[in-house]
Amino acid sequence: MKNNNQKLDALEIKFDEIINQLKTFEKKYESEINNVNPLYTKSAKNLIHYLAFRSFDLSLIQDELNELGLPGLSNIEPHVMKSLLSTKNIIEKLNDKEISNNGKVDLSVKKAKKILNKNTKLLFGNKSKKRRTRIMVTLPNTAADDYKFVYKLIKSGMNCARINCAHDSEEVWMKMIDNVKDASKKLNKNCKVTMDLGGPKLRTGAMVPGAQVIHIKPNRDEYGKSISPAKIWIAPPDVIPPNNSADSILPVDEIWFKKIKKGNVISFTDSRGKKCKITIDKKQGLGKWGSCNESAYITSGTELKLIKQKDGTQKVKVGELLPLEKSITLKIGDKIILTKEAIQGEDAKYDENGIITELAHVSCTLPEIFSDLKIGESIYFDDGKIEGIIEEVRENEVEIKITYAKDLGSKLKADKGINLPVSDLKVSGLTDKDKSDMNFVAEYADAVNFSFVNNENDVEQLHDFLENKQKSIGVILKIETEKGFKNLPRILLRSMQKYPVGVMIARGDLAIETGWKNFASIQEEIMRICEAAHIPDVWATQVLETLAKKGVPTRSEITDSALAERAECVMLNKGYYIIKAVKMLDKILRRMQFFQKKKEIILPKLEGAENLHLSHQIYNIN
């Protein structure tokens, strides 16, 4: 067995080899480093150093360092050369050798930390009191008309507001931004505004419309008893409920609507001849909330009666209801046709003997992908809830066999995501809608969230657009495909030619595109690469999703949120209980700071340890 001196000699040789590799990579990619914005020069060099460092299998070296009680290499990302040289000097000292004169290293541990903090602040605003990680919140359309709601979000801990360009209009976006700016000023905060470009969205097309009817359904227990009423949103046409949180929506005449007051009762006879009533509970924004304890079916034109003691009975008819959203039910072994032409989708058709006469079919929103599809490639629908394999490719359609669905069948609806993880799709970059939206985004947002970035050419296209408009805003790259992950180093180096830049780990699409078994390690690698480049990252998709939508979190959501402390920013999606979710996330992130900073493990004093006791009531986070 080697003695310690022999082990130290071997380690020193290995460290020299790694350090020389860093210098080789730095020379090889000198032009890429020199092309970045001067503010990113040290960061670009460190990124190249990190990639050189990771070109070795380091697991054995790490084991040997641990056996000798030496510092490991697990937190080396932000300051690669400095960490390697420092560790090498320790090895030399322990081996009774003269310490190498390495000269001045231009990126110290302290300097690396300051660079990342500066980059984070510019993109995501000031950190909150006692919390390093920022919170980004996707604004619902109610944020346009409800200033108090936005005020509460910022007061509760929102550092950055996200507006999705896939929804609403420029008029609504402007109202949201005005409310964010006004509330920020009132609270003396610096809440940033980022706007998401839709990108080339690959989704299922429209379905054949169903009947124009709504089914009001109160929540019932297993015995059929009503345990909570259905929430009814009553408002003039086109006034949408906040966070789309209504069980049912009743569009009514605006003049009649203004006569409704809290406590009023609206009676009606449903489509089955059943007499029912709705009690008005409260007003919110431009609509009013009612509750109904009975099951009812309402169609367009149903007569509503508002009984007023002074004015008598006021009648109105329900406005035009949206048709019921039809879906296609798919089981394992079923087949479905994906059409290039925008034909309304519908379920399979059968003859009187139960034999299929026409396969189920649905269109897709990006017909240009059809030339890129091949037999045998996998396809996923609705966030991976339905899986299939392409069996036939024709000029205007592909035939798919379903390989995974629920035992009783999964429902495929319109506007659901389609993922083709192994297909070499040529679609990327700015769409026509993105270019139109960018005119607004470049004028009023602090940063743009750039969707489906697959390579450095996509980044160049965005940069060219901004240069032509003579605008300079932050760019947050959404990494959500296998290509985007594989090309991440080059994507970052190209992005770093402008300042500032960040990365959003779009975990929903990324998990499907890269495979569930691969996703955890891929997410880890993205965070490491970003840290090496001193680029802030966003932990996105379904963070505290159940809490935001239903008011109670799941255990796995709490664990996920705790891990999110390693990112510079965490994104919450909209939901009826979003303010509650922001407050919960704020407390989780502040508490986790006692245990972890980025990937560095922190060991606070464990009260009661001398008595073999454990305690968690030691951290003041209120």
SS (H, E, C) 448-489: EEECCCCCHHHHHHHHHHHHHCCCCCEEEEEECCHHHHHCHH
Short-list 291, 237, 238, CA closest to 264 = 291
**What confidence tens digit (pLDDT) does each residue in 310-351 have?**
666 788 888 888 777 789 999 999 999 999 999 999 999 988
Asked whether the beta carbons of 150 and 175 are under 8 A apart, the reply is no
Q: Over pLDDT 70: what percentage of the chain?
A: 95
Residue 10: count of CB within 10 angstroms of its CB: 14
Classify domain 213-317 at the CATH topology level.
Answer: M1 Pyruvate Kinase; Domain 3 (2.40.33)
- Range 366-377 average pLDDT: 93
CATH for 328-419, options being 1.10.3720.10, 1.10.287.3510, 2.40.33.10, 4.10.490.10: 2.40.33.10
Torsion-angle region of residue 605: left (phi > 0), alpha (psi -120 to 50) or beta?
beta
pLDDT > 80? residue 601: no
- Range 119-133 average pLDDT: 91
Q: What is the pLDDT of residue 1?
A: 41
Q: What is the pLDDT of residue 602?
A: 63
pLDDT > 90? residue 165: yes
* Per-residue three-class SS string for 388-426: EEEEEECCCEEEEEEEECCCCCEEECCCCEEECCCCCCC
Does 116-198+430-509+530-601 carry CATH code 3.40.50.300? no
Q: Which residue has the tokens 């610096």?
A: 190
Report cis status (omega within 30 of 0) of the bond before 367: no
Pairing of the two strands 160-164 and 360-363:
unpaired
**What confidence tens digit (pLDDT) does each residue in 211-232 have?**
888 899 888 877 778 788 999 9
Q: How far is CA 85 from the centre of its chain?
A: 38
For the entire predicted model, the pTM comes to: 0.83
Q: Where in the chain is the domain with CATH 3.20.20.60?
A: 116-198+430-509+530-601
H-helix or E-strand spanning residue 561: helix 555-563
Q: Where in the chain is the domain with CATH 2.40.33.10?
A: 328-419
